[in-house]
Chain A
Amino acid sequence: MQDFNPSENLKHLGKSEISAVSPPGIGKAAYTLHLADTTLLLAQRNAAWCAHGPILEQDIAITNISLDLIGQARNFYQYAATLINNEAETPQGKLMDEDRLAFERTEREFKNLLLVELPNGDWAQTITRQFLFSQYQFLLFEKLQASNDEQLAAIAAKSIKETKYHLRWSSEWILRLGDGTQESRERMLQALTELWPFTGEMFVNAAYEVAAAAAGSGVDSSLLQQEWLQNVAQLLEEATLAVPQNIFMQSGGKQGIHTEHLGYILSDMQYLQRTYPNSQW
């Protein structure tokens, strides 16, 4: 590596080059980036459990789920990069790729659901988030398989096979914890209270979702809510828990307006590329 000259590298960050990465607002690229960011952020959150799981087998389980989600994110990012490169020559002429999309965008450019950037909390909160999300992702991919966009349909058909595992695994845990001990049930009630306000956003279409659904390439996520709520309510009831009622729903993640948590994740995840731009393994 050439001799490292901090001021040289920091100067590079000053330019607006990084913020020029984000594609225009409502195109298919923005829709694909939303799908990619959501899977990447949950992958990052789940990966944080590595070596901290309650028991070895569950440590492996949640890191396996993280690996699946990273794979799905890579597929979406690669496709988003292709779309961006086709749509318009990127300002610096350098082609867009999956790594630049993951490492060079700022918080305001990320379009992930708020639900997936929230802290892991205890095992009950991690499990509850995973279940609420996987139930949604399953229904989303089920519909996305019928997309008239071949690549999105292919990624959905590929990923849903893995989402089934995530849904089955988290459902079993919801029952085990909800209908478990006094303490596990209390922690589940706390987790539901903590997370429920962030579930509404899954069913409120962002502009790029409306455009994608109209074009037949994306899914109108508001159509997923009824079946999602039915499945979630049924399982929670079985687990002696209940759906929190009339809760104010948070939103904004899909539009790049995030909680205070996202910045910390990105600073960890993007640190290397931002300190040593274009570094390679």
Chain B
Amino acid sequence: MVTLTSVQEQKIWDILETVCDPEVPVLSILDLGIVRNILSKNNEVEIVITPTYSGCPAMDMIAMNIRLALAEQGYPKVKITSVLAPAWSSDWMTTAGKEKLKLYGIAAPDKKFEIPADGVECPQCNSTHTKLISEFGSTACKALYQCQDCSEPFDYFKCH
């Protein structure tokens, strides 16, 4: 597999920008930082991705969505490779991704809360008078909080 010319590559990166995490539809897979590399051989494109959490069911769906998005834009032959090392970290999330999370109502990963604890800023009213309900939320990557001021429950995208 050889790396692509910059023009071709940019085109593919733009297509990948349209593929979102099915759990968090505002986050593209580039915002999440799970796309490792793009390679190509004659007309077959290889996308190297890495899982966020070992058991995350969204990864199978993301692989399928990548295949569909590329096929629609004229890249019928797509190979998707998953690599585990180095392990994905929430540090790879882009700043833009973090802002999108906040707008969507999910608190973005914050180094001060490496271990989830009370005080994560509420994405609704920005209060830090918030309570950790459970370190395990509706998906593997999120913890459950409740704001004590506006009393809205919200998810916190955990540092990982």
Contacts and interface: CB of A to CB of B under 8 A. Distances in A.
B115 interface: yes
B144 interface: yes
A157 B86 contact: yes
B56 interface: yes
B93 interface: no
B37 to A, nearest CB: 16
> On chain A, which size bracket covers the interface?
20 to 34
A57 B134 contact: yes
A151 B57 CA distance: 21
A168 B136 CA distance: 12
Nearest to A164: B115
A26 interface: no
A151 B85 CA distance: 8
Given A60-B138, A61-B134, A158 B55 contact: no
Interface string B42-53: 000000000101
A71 B53 CA distance: 8
Interface string A65-81: 10111111011000000
Interface string B104-144: 00000000000100000000000000000111111010001
A168 B115 contact: yes
Given A68-B53, A72-B54, A154 B135 contact: no
Given A69-B55, A153-B85, 20 more contacts: A60-B134, A60-B136, A68-B53, A68-B54, A70-B55, A71-B54, A72-B54, A72-B55, A74-B54, A150-B85, A157-B84, A157-B86, A158-B51, A158-B54, A158-B84, A162-B53, A162-B140, A165-B135, A168-B115, A168-B135
B87 interface: yes
A71 B56 contact: yes
Interface residues of B, number: 22
A29 to B, nearest CB: 18
A61 B55 contact: no
B160 interface: yes
Nearest to A65: B136
Chain A to chain B: the 9 pairs with minimum beta-carbon distance, closest first: A71-B55, A71-B54, A154-B85, A57-B134, A154-B84, A61-B136, A64-B136, A67-B55, A158-B87
B136 A154 contact: no
A169 B115 CA distance: 11
